[in-house]
Structure 1
Amino acid sequence: MSHRIHLAVALERAGWHPAAGRAAGVLPHDLVTPKPWVDQARALDRAGVVFATIEDALALTDRFEDADDPRPGRVRGRLDAVLLASALAPLTHRIGLVPTVTTTHTEPFHVATGIQTLDVASRGRAGVRLVVGGSPAERANFGRRDELDAEAGFREAGEVADVLGRLWDSWQDDAIIRDAATGRFVDADRIHNADFAGEFFSITGASIVPRSPQGRPVISVLAHESAPYRLAAEHADVVFVTPHGPAAATGILAELDGAAAELRRSAERLRVFADVVVLIDDAPGRAHDALARLDDLDGGAFRSDAAVVAGTPTEVADHIRALAATGVDGVRLRPARQPDDVFAIADRLAPLLRATRVLRDDDAATLRGRLGLPRPQSRYAVTPAEDPRTTPAREKVAP
């Protein structure tokens, strides 16, 4: 295979199947303690997984669930994704940590500083997944704005992404000078205000966090249709798409290419990851049986926006190999059951994909580096030739 891909994993409490919390071996109180998250993140880290995303939401019910008539038997409650990622950062080594943040009700300034702090704690392995949170239950938890239509929500998410980049750039890399002789800790000329005024909010000042190891942590979004495709093409580094097979992936890539040609300002192309829900078991047929049992517990067949693949490591690897052949940059696996499918990914699937040369090799220390993204210079930085502090003053010539 000439085209090789990255492998990522999406972590979601007990797993992505709605009845995962009722699977054998799940201890409910463990879901809100650090240990299972640490164990799974470390296993994926050892397996060479490029990053793990962590789901989050701003309501007790799921995003597309009727809050007035919640389904019984579902997992309720969760840990804050950004804080959880920061707890995992010093306990892992290479894996990128990408928490989910809802753009509709959170302040971009708080998002920017939280993700910068995660980048510091992880030594350059931070990212963020931006999601539009338009559910009535989420809106009711804040009560400070009217309902946004979908198009407005995506426009707001675009502004959030823009402001994040401005705040992450607001400190130049050399802003901290600690000049003991003059008593200056920072050079104020190297700290810049964002000065953003948009449709939904305005930001005046600079970040409170100095520029982090990656400069700009990785921005990612999940996209199913044209509006989020365009959001990703204009503002993201990584997009997660949900093709139900290789043919669908080819069409999505073509649409993303068209949106990027129209909207993308970055010289770096958008990295595309295809999402797949997986159940994995070594014995043929046993993963299908496990899926059927979970469906029975939930009262109906599992339906997902992404393809659902239940099988042996070899069968799941075949599906991933077919997606890789379409030209995607990576595959993000959603484990139906946690931790069982997470450990199957780490211990059996990832080694198989690496042995068959499906996975991309890399030795970079940062998440941007592993994805082949350069570390960007602050947009406010000037070159040495333009900097009056490093350019000798011109000699005055008498008339």
Structure 2
Amino acid sequence: MTRKKDMKLGLLLNAVGFHIGAWRHPDARPDLASKLSRYIEITRTAERGKFDLVFLADSAAMHHSHNYEVMAKMSPFYQMEPVSLLSALAPVTQHIGLVGSITTTYNEPFHIARKMATLDHVSDGRAGWNLVTSANQAEAHNFSRDAHMDHADRYGRAVEVAHIVRGLWDSWEDDALVLNKQTGQYFDLAKMHPLNHKGERFSVRGPLNVFRSPQGHPVVAQAGSSEPGKELAAETADIVFTQQLTLSDGKAFYADLKGRMAKFGRETDQMKILPGVVPFVGDSAEEAQADFLMMQDLILPEVGLALLRELLGGVDLSGYDLDGPMPELTDSNAGKGRLKNMTELAKRENLTIRQLYQHAAGSRGHWTLKGTPKMIADTLEEWIEQEAADGFVIIPPYLPGTIDRFVDKVVPELQRRGIFRQDYTGQTLREHLGLKRP
């Protein structure tokens, strides 16, 4: 009998929820969005559910800054700086991985390597870096630029940053520390390795002034779905967060990305592909659907349209008939994979602009799954069995209700089927994910 695959689960960490109207939900507490206690509560719930990790997304600018009047009606999706917040969560949790985004476009590689190595020490080996190249074009204006760096240039920079960061993490061998008080030798000089990198964009000597971290390298996550993004992921990523809306698309993406790994000398089980899922869990299908429709009613039209503009890389659709079809869109300097997913969805399901922004406002382009715990478990299990995913990033539409229901109702169903852990068996995030230590 073939052993069932172990499903991996991550939680997209947010204080009020992912849905654009989450802060307006009757049970929402948007006043707690900047309170550490709220993040502790949600992270501990995920740890109670034996999740592999929590994932904190980030942007170095306010979203929708092209329209302050619209922005004033939205809860800022990104609140606090990820590494600082995750460092505060480390001592109040024991097992769950702590993954945060740091952009390669507006950070120096030494900064990234040092912050993530420190988080790995602080958390006893539970740190992960989500390598992003910044899709939010407003970030440029906060870093002395008039415009966002071109997509190809962002990925060229990201490749070099990734190589430097990994090189800096290898500055010290595991047993470099001698700590001999009698001879006065602190470390073995032969086991220190300055990087001496001189590349197209960076010159970094090293070594890193943080000793080798518990995992060797913190786990590296990536989310790009464009051709450069997939190449970068195949070479560097331990985890890939992705947006796939159908089983066939998930299978194609999975096979494509895993198929690129061999040319980088990597084994396919050393990358975990985790599509995002926005779950609405009910005791009946009707209850789940009612919960979904209640959330959709909280979307203000001007907010939904502004969100769609951002997801499409700055394309302004306000001059079009909102109840008419989507225009043909071919290119964007933001996230190309997201543009492709959104336009293909509109065409496949014959959605109007209004219907597309209603979809986007609820899921930001991710897959929305509605139903009973059994229905949701059936679907997730099918994706694992069909090699469309190694697991999923659960994206609660509003908090805390939707993560509580997933942990209390869906997780036990997955455990009963033998496809999700009953308890943690390791300490580090790499151990949770079944990844080798570099």
Q: What corresponds to 1:235 in structure 2?
A: 236
Range that drifts further, 282-291 or 170-179: 282-291
In the TM superposition, what are the counterparts of 1:153-172 in structure 2 within 5 Å?
A: 153-172=154-173
Alpha carbons 2:270, 2:435 under 8 Å: kept: no
| Cα deviation digits, residues 149-191 of structure 1 (max 9, x gap) | 1122122222222112111110111222112123232223322
Per the alignment, residue 335 of structure 2 pairs with: none
Cα offset for 1:296? 2.0
Q: How many Å separate the matches in 1 of 2:390 and 2:158?
A: 24
Are residue 324 (structure 1) and residue 384 (structure 2) matched?
yes
Letter in 2 for 1:370: H
- Give the secondary-structure state (helix, strand or coil) at the position aligned to 2:261: helix
How far off its partner does 1:72 sit?
4.2
In structure 2, the residue matched to 1:79 is 80
Cα deviation per residue 1:60-111 (whole Å; 9 max; x = unaligned)? 225xx74566444211260111111111111111111101112210122111
What is the deviation of 1:227? 2.3
Q: Secondary structure in 2 aligned to 1:278?
A: strand
The one-letter code matched in structure 1 to 2:234 is A
CA contact (8 A) 2:102 2:132 kept: yes
Q: Which amino acid letter does the alignment assign opposite residue 125 of structure 1?
A: R
Once the two structures are TM-superposed, the CA of residue 344 in structure 1 deviates from its matched residue by: 1.6
Distance, in Å, in 1 between the alignment partners of 2:378 and 2:283 is 14
CA distance in 1, matches of 2:407, 2:238: 25
Shift of residue 39 of structure 1? 0.9
Q: Distance in 1 between matches of 2:207 and 2:266?
A: 22
Cα distance 1:342–1:199, how it changes in 2: closer, same or farther (>3 A)? farther
Contact persistence 1:100–1:130 (CA under 8 A): yes
* Residue matched to 1:114: 115
The residue type equivalent to 1:79 in the other structure is M
3-state secondary structure, aligned to 1:297: coil
Deviation readout 1:199-255 (Å, 9 max, x if unpaired):
322211111111111010100011333221111001111112222122111111121
Alignment match, 1:333:
394
8 A contact 2:59–2:136 mirrored in 1:
no
Cα offset, 1:283, TM superposition? 4.2
Contact between 2:63 and 2:136, CA under 8 Å: does it hold in 1? Answer: no
Name stretches of at least 5 consecutive residues in structure 2 with no aligned partner.
302-357
C-alpha contact 1:241 1:273 (8 A) present in aligned 2: yes
Q: In 2, are the aligned partners of 1:73 and 1:298 still within 8 Å (CA)?
A: no
1:302 aligned counterpart, secondary structure: helix
How big is the alpha-carbon RMSD for the aligned residues of Structure 1 and Structure 2?
2.1
Deviations, residues 106-137 of structure 1 (Å, cap 9, x unaligned):
12211111111111111111111111115331
C-alpha separation in 2, matches of 1:4 and 1:12:
26
1:285 aligns with 2:345: no
Q: CA deviation at 1:358?
A: 2.3
Distance 1:279 1:66 in 2: 31
Deviations 1:296-354 (A, max 9, x none): 22135232322111222222212211211222221111111122112122222111111
1:395 — aligned with what?
A: none
Structure 1 residue runs of 4+, over 3 Å off?
65-72, 144-147, 265-269
SS at 1:331 equivalent: strand
**Residue in 2 that maps onto 1:306:** 366
Q: Give the distance between the partners of 1:184 and 1:202, measured in 2 at CA.
A: 30
Rounded to whole Å, the distance in 2 between the matches of 1:160 and 1:279 is 38
Query: Is 1:364–2:426 an aligned residue pair?
Result: yes
User: 2:118 is paired with a residue of what secondary structure?
Assistant: helix
1:31 to 11, 30, 33: 33
Q: Residue 200 of structure 1 aligns to a residue in which SS?
A: coil
User: Residue 191 of structure 1 corresponds to which residue in structure 2?
Assistant: 192
Instruction: Indicate the percent of aligned positions where both proteins have the same amino acid.
Output: 31
Matches within 5 A, 1:12-91: 12-61=14-63, 66=66, 70-76=70-76, 78-91=79-92
- Quick one: which amino acid aligns to residue 257 of structure 1? K
Match runs of 1:341-380 below 5 Å: 341-360=402-421, 363-376=425-438
Alpha-carbon distance, 1:269 to partner: 3.4
User: What letter corresponds to residue 314 of structure 1 in structure 2?
Assistant: K
Query: Unaligned regions of 5+ residues in structure 1, if any?
Result: 377-399
1: distance between equivalents of 2:246 and 2:418? 21
Q: What one-letter code is carried by the residue in structure 2 that aligns with 1:349?
A: V
Equivalent position amino acid for 1:348 in 2: K
Letter matched to residue 436 of structure 2: P
Larger helix percent = 2
Counterpart in the other structure of 1:205:
206
Secondary structure of the structure 1 residue equivalent to 2:110: helix
More moved, 300-309 vs 121-130: 300-309
CA distance in 1, matches of 2:161, 2:213: 18
Structure 1 segment 119-198 matched on structure 2, within 5 A? 119-143=120-144, 147-198=148-199
Q: Is the 8 A contact 1:274 1:332 kept in 2?
A: yes
Residue 247 of structure 1 aligns to a residue whose secondary structure is helix
- Alpha-carbon distance in structure 1 between the residues aligned to 2:199 and 2:401: 45
The separation in 2 between residues aligned to 1:360 and 1:260, in whole angstroms, is 27
The CA distance in 2 between the partners of 1:100 and 1:204, in whole Å, is 25
Task: Find the counterpart in structure 1 of residue 296 from structure 2.
Answer: 295
Retained in 2: the 8 A contact 1:249–1:326? no
Indicate how the Cα distance of structure 1 residues 57 and 227 shifts in structure 2: closer, same or farther if over 3 A, else same. same
